[in-house]
Chain A
């Protein structure tokens, strides 16, 4: 026993001594030599984030953190050009369709290879789409592909047969759902482990420690036309933003995106060596009124209540006090920057609360005040500040004297089960786009079978949606979008609240970062360079 005790003390002492001896030595980062590989560490970018990816295998990914990697490691037939936000050729030279957009034909560039040397042919494309649908992973993008049938008549041609015509199929091809995988490596009926992925994109995965660190180096067999501004990228995954904040201050990471709360961003303002770059984001937050369960004895009263809330919400206060300027007030259900987005809520209800108008609306419809509103929000899915946001909304509504607000919250799981099944009269929701097109907003929100489950239906909007989905004439579509918003502002039971800014924090100067902070949310590794 005593010997063991002595040994224990000895080991402890050695550990502590060793630690103290090394305590003063410099930290890892920059400067020292890296292991093998053609990239020298001073030229590669270290990207820190708190967002966790679900899967590097495209068949199992429908979330932004996963797609951020997928966009850089794989090619699709098309990709989105950051300058124009339109699909441009990637692995394919182009895609054409028939008149009613049900059959799409794409032509592959010849002689392309995956990073391991395997040839990329139409068979791989067909394999990729088939397996996504076959695996049907709950977290995967199969719902985006909507039962498409893919054929590969010859090695450089791919034909898609859609179940129903969709003029936006090229947009979908350019998302992470359209990533092309190596049919010789990926299994057909289940997902491949993240550390074994093979793609044909500008980067390839070299080292991977799940949820911790991932190293990407340039793909020697990349056949596309993108130029890389760096010689590699390392992703460091952080569990909490505290450590991330400290590391960006000390220069242990070069870029942080996304993953810092408004508080952290505020604290980093004015720190030497730390810069913030922002760009328009596509994520929006809004409130939904369930026309079946919301208060109000008849349709007119329900409309009046919705309009009264429209007149009472102070978006500027939310953006400033809760989010400290990292979000912008949103006055329409479309992310600003997209075609056809018009601030109809601002022109109709004004940018500042108007208690008199709100009271007038309620009085006109004969609604007794104060109106009891039960508003639901969720603490888990939309960020920790949802609590503050809805506390603020409650304060604003009650400050008018016209409402009494009861806030309810529950975990995301229960929340969707409840609120999307008529159990919540008023609830918080958010949206980020699959692809940067206005249809991905208005189509999702105002169609009759919208996932919002607010029991809203407007025949005029439905026909306008059909119109814009059936054409590629941008001018026509924009006009349709404007009309849809003008109808919705008076009619639809939704209230837009804010649109997120994409904010990246850099240590030192990183070139090209603002070029990739675009409404499509695609984080393009190849644009980032250290000066």
Chain B
């Protein structure tokens, strides 16, 4: 029915449906809000991007950044790491109950988190968006059926659905190799939750766009449905995706942490995972051992916040009703060569 945040059905820039020659200018106009916006949204966006980039760097360059492997419990000379040892020179964030280094777990955990999120979001996109597109455009009984199913799944508590699916998929991906099977299972269980979201938003978007005169005009002129969708509809609805994508990524990370906390996520022998680390740290927290729970928790908070900031700012920037633009001086000469009028507000 309603989504959590207001997403625009169209934006004035794309509404003008530029023809081939104006494609480039259309894209530039779509990005214009970012350049034109002043004040809060821009630097919030950059902070968010900054945070996310730090974790992406952690994830990609984990073997070089992390001082030890995530499951390493011995020094090079064969000495065991201390168990739940306090932060020290050789273990910046201390060690946890498995005698592994906490900082290494943070870094490798970023890799796990991003692997799962990227897989989940990509699969959700590739399933949810086309489904929403075709369902919204063609309508009919198939559309109604899909809406019912998607609504049912959307309404269901997401973590519970993820738990059930993760639980059932355990061990089913063994053919992908030991470390990847858990990640795949977690990713699929998260995917299942988010497909309905993409479906709903895209479908609603398509439904409102398809009533527009230029779309109808194209149809009347005899354009095939595929052309209509690809050329006119898709471009308008797809701008919802980045916002939902980043916000879903944030949510997916929380779901992954929740799964890990309850024990249904990635197993410790496969990869480091922040939620699982928190579960193991739970028992020691009241004994004064804070580093095993504070750091993984902070990592989750930071990355989710970063992704959310990016998503929120994108939303602010793309949603014209929320956008505040500076008043720009109107250049009459430029205006003369334009078909549209760009209005400042």
Chain A residues proximal to chain B, CB less than 8 Å: 240-242, 245-246, 261, 263-264, 267, 321, 379, 387-388, 391, 395, 406-407, 409-411, 414
B63 within 8 A of A: no
Query: Which residue of B98, B167, B283, B285 contacts A261 across the interface (Cβ within 8 Å)?
Result: B283
Q: Is the CB of B286 within 8 A of A387?
A: no
- Would A388 and B98 be within 8 Å (CB), given that A242-B283, A263-B283, A379-B263 are in contact? yes
Query: Which residue of B83, B267, B284 contacts A409 across the interface (Cβ within 8 Å)?
Result: B267
Known pairs A242-B282, A263-B97 / 11 extra A-B pairs, C-beta < 8 Å: A242-B286, A263-B284, A264-B283, A267-B286, A267-B287, A379-B263, A379-B267, A391-B269, A411-B167, A411-B171, A414-B171
Contacts of B178 in A (CB 8 A): 406
What would 7 A/B residue contacts be, using CB atoms closer than 8 Å?
A241-B283, A242-B283, A263-B284, A379-B267, A391-B98, A410-B170, A411-B170
In chain B, positions 248-276 with a C-beta closer than 8 Å to chain A are 263, 267-269
Contacts of A388 in B (CB 8 A): 98
Report the minimal beta-carbon distance from A320 to chain B, rounded to whole angstroms: 11
Contacts of B263 in A (CB 8 A): 379
Chain B residues proximal to chain A, CB less than 8 Å: 73, 80, 83, 97-98, 167, 170-171, 178, 263, 267-269, 282-287
Q: Is the CB of B283 within 8 A of A387?
A: no
Report the minimal beta-carbon distance from A429 to chain B, rounded to whole angstroms: 19
Query: Which residue of B80, B170, B284 contacts A267 across the interface (Cβ within 8 Å)?
Result: B284
Contacts of B282 in A (CB 8 A): 240, 242
Contacts of A411 in B (CB 8 A): 167, 170-171
Q: Is the CB of B286 within 8 A of A245?
A: yes
Contacts of A391 in B (CB 8 A): 98, 269
Report the minimal beta-carbon distance from A481 to chain B, rounded to whole angstroms: 38
Report the minimal beta-carbon distance from B73 to chain A, rounded to whole angstroms: 8
Instruction: Tell me the complex Cα distance, A411–B172, Å.
Output: 12
Report the minimal beta-carbon distance from B271 to chain A, rounded to whole angstroms: 14
Contacts of A410 in B (CB 8 A): 170-171
- Would A246 and B284 be within 8 Å (CB), given that A407-B269, A410-B171 are in contact? no
Contacts of A395 in B (CB 8 A): 73
Report the minimal beta-carbon distance from B272 to chain A, rounded to whole angstroms: 14
Contacts of B268 in A (CB 8 A): 387
Contacts of B283 in A (CB 8 A): 241-242, 245, 261, 263-264
When A and B form their complex, which 9 residue pairs have the shortest distance between CB atoms, in order from nearest? A267-B287, A410-B171, A263-B283, A242-B282, A264-B283, A242-B283, A246-B286, A407-B269, A263-B97
Report the minimal beta-carbon distance from B133 to chain A, rounded to whole angstroms: 38
Instruction: Tell me the complex Cα distance, A242–B281, Å.
Output: 11
Query: Which residue of B80, B171, B269, B287 contacts A387 across the interface (Cβ within 8 Å)?
Result: B269
Instruction: Tell me the complex Cα distance, A410–B83, Å.
Output: 26
Report the minimal beta-carbon distance from A6 to chain B, rounded to whole angstroms: 25
Report the minimal beta-carbon distance from A390 to chain B, rounded to whole angstroms: 9
Task: Give A245's nearest chain B residue, CB to CB.
Answer: B286
Contacts of B285 in A (CB 8 A): 242
Instruction: Tell me the complex Cα distance, A505–B343, Å.
Output: 75
Report the minimal beta-carbon distance from B70 to chain A, rounded to whole angstroms: 13
Task: Give B268's nearest chain A residue, CB to CB.
Answer: A387
Task: Give B74's nearest chain A residue, CB to CB.
Answer: A395
Interface hub of B267, B268, B283, B286 (most chain A Cβ within 10 A): B283
Instruction: Tell me the complex Cα distance, A240–B167, Å.
Output: 20
Instruction: Tell me the complex Cα distance, A406–B287, Å.
Output: 35
Instruction: Tell me the complex Cα distance, A407–B284, Å.
Output: 27
Report the minimal beta-carbon distance from B12 to chain A, rounded to whole angstroms: 33
Task: Give B284's nearest chain A residue, CB to CB.
Answer: A263
Contacts of B97 in A (CB 8 A): 263
Instruction: Tell me the complex Cα distance, A242–B286, Å.
Output: 8
